[in-house]
Amino acid sequence: MTTITLAHLSKRFTQSDDAAKSINVLDNLSLKIASGDVLAILGPSGSGKSTLLRLVAGLIPPDAGEILFDNVDLQQIPVTERGIGMVFQDGALMPHWEARKTVGFFMSLRKREHEVPARVARIAQITGIGINHLLDRRPAHLSGGERQRVGIARALTRDPRVFLFDEPFSNLDAKLRASGRVELKRLLSEFPVTSIYVTHDQIEAVALAHRIAVMRDGHFEQVDTYQDLYNNPVNLFVATFIGTPTINLFTGTVHNHRWTGTTFGGFPLRADLDENTPVTLGVRPERFTIHNGGAAIRIASVMPYYAERFALCEVRSTAGEAFQVSVPLEILPQAGDTLHVVPNVDALLYFDPATGRRIG
Ligand code: ADP
Ligand code: MG
């Protein structure tokens, strides 16, 4: 089993021939992934996720910093001994090979081809899905989901030290994405290979990974469990990026050592903030309580989530602020209704509006 360490990793790309126009696509990334753990890299498109994965795969060199597998610099490990299983967005299968050859390729290189059928059978057993019927087909005759299964089987049959996934399910429809996620989760718990899973989908990240690195513009904003990212975001970017429906933000200021806004106010906050300091308050939609003494809100629209037993309501306060509140379905909220709500005091998140940093 392998520990992965990224130490002060940076990568620049030159946009044209002019070196001055080069941009830092990755900027001083440091991180350690324990042996057998799955780390998700979660970030918007263009944040540098694929570039980071290509560096860890050894496909491109860093400009600064190191990648260590078990404390050995990747550059010092011969390519044949790196043991990297990579799964790409589009499967990246050889177009003219039958799946059988793709799946067995690395084993045949090592004269261990005879082990492939048992491996494939084991994968089929764990996922509950046979791929034998796919093995005689070429990629053109496989659906998107089938191609990804073959890609994952290929990566697994080569006995990887490290597994790298680059949005493997993003080209699939929602249902296939969900089942692919479940199959992969089973495989990863059965073959605990140290893995990096790149995605822009937080449902995938929380389902598959032990920890999540939130990436933006080539750097990590926060590396934590989903629960900590959700409850304790370090800044406004993480707070708004993590969580669907999105967190509500209210502008306000400090008055008598209390947060005071337009709709709500009088909430305790850090004692060292000066009077009139601007502070943004974040409250997630499900962290409101219906309460007679609360602020009056009028429901503009209702979006029911039947499985989760709540309705997401777009509301407007008497003071004119628009936000979202999750209301239990039993209350039968209707557009036009008026409710009274208060945010839960233990769920208030305060941010400095100038820097975005969390301040309480
Ligand atoms: P993500 O996978 O998060 O969408 P990428 O790692 O693909 O992001 O890209 C990050 C940034 O680096 C983007 O701005 C992209 O345009 C740029 N980039 C990626 N590869 C190259 C390259 N070979 N040359 C120049 N710029 C690149
Ligand atoms: Mg990408």
Residue 166 Cα: closest atom of ligand 1: 2
Place of tokens 């261990």: 112
Q: Which ligand is nearest to the CA of 88?
A: 2
Residue 312 C-alpha to ligand 1 middle, in angstroms? Answer: 36
**Helices (DSSP H) in the chain: which residue ranges?**
49-56, 99-109, 116-127, 144-157, 174-190, 202-208, 226-231, 236-241
Give pLDDT < 50 ranges for the chain. none
Neighbours of ion ligand 2 (CB under 5 A): 50
**Cβ–Cβ under 8 Å, residues 38 and 195:** yes
Query: What pLDDT shows up at residue 91?
Result: 62
User: What is the structure's pLDDT at 19?
Assistant: 64
Minimum-distance ligand 1 atom for the alpha carbon of 43: 3
Closest Cα partner for 65 from 52, 78, 81?
52
Closest ligand 1 atom number to CA of residue 200:
3
- pLDDT tens figures, 49-104: 999 999 999 999 999 999 999 999 999 998 888 888 888 776 666 666 666 666 66
- Span from the CA of 14 to the centroid of ligand 1 (angstroms): 11
Question: 220: CA distance to ligand 2 center in Å?
Answer: 15
pLDDT in the model for residue 88: 79
CA pair distance 102, 82, nearest whole angstrom: 19
What confidence score (pLDDT) does residue 140 get? Answer: 78
Place of tokens 């909220």: 333
Predicted local confidence at residue 60, as pLDDT: 93
Would the CB of 216 count as within 6 Å of ligand 1?
A: no
Contact (Cβ atoms closer than 8 angstroms) between residue 2 and residue 161: yes
Q: Is the CB of 50 under 6 A from ligand 1?
A: yes
Closest ligand 1 atom to residue 54 Cα is 6
| Structure tokens given for 30 | 């440091």
User: From its phi and psi, is residue 70 left (phi > 0), alpha (psi between -120 and 50) or beta?
Assistant: left
Q: 249: which 2 tokens? A: 């933000």
pLDDT digits (tens, 9 = 90+) for 102-124: 666 666 666 677 777 777 777 77
Q: What residues does 339 pair with on adjacent strands?
A: 297
- State the Cα–Cα distance between residues 199 and 228, nearest whole angstrom: 19
Write down the pTM of the prediction.
Answer: 0.88
- pLDDT given for residue 188 in this prediction: 87
Q: Would you say the C-alpha torsion 56, 62, 68, 69 has a positive or negative sign?
A: positive
Ligand 1 mutation pick, 25, 42, 45, 216, max ligand atoms within 8 A of CB = 25
Taking CA atoms only, the protein residue closest to ligand 1 atom 5 is 48
Q: How far apart are CA 43 and CA 63, in angstroms?
A: 22
Q: Which of 261, 243, 239 is nearest to 252 (CA)?
A: 261
Number of alpha carbons in the 13 Å side-chain half-sphere of residue 304: 10
Going from the C-alpha of 167 to that of each of 148, 164, 180, 282, the distances in angstroms are 11, 10, 12, 30
pLDDT at 93: 60
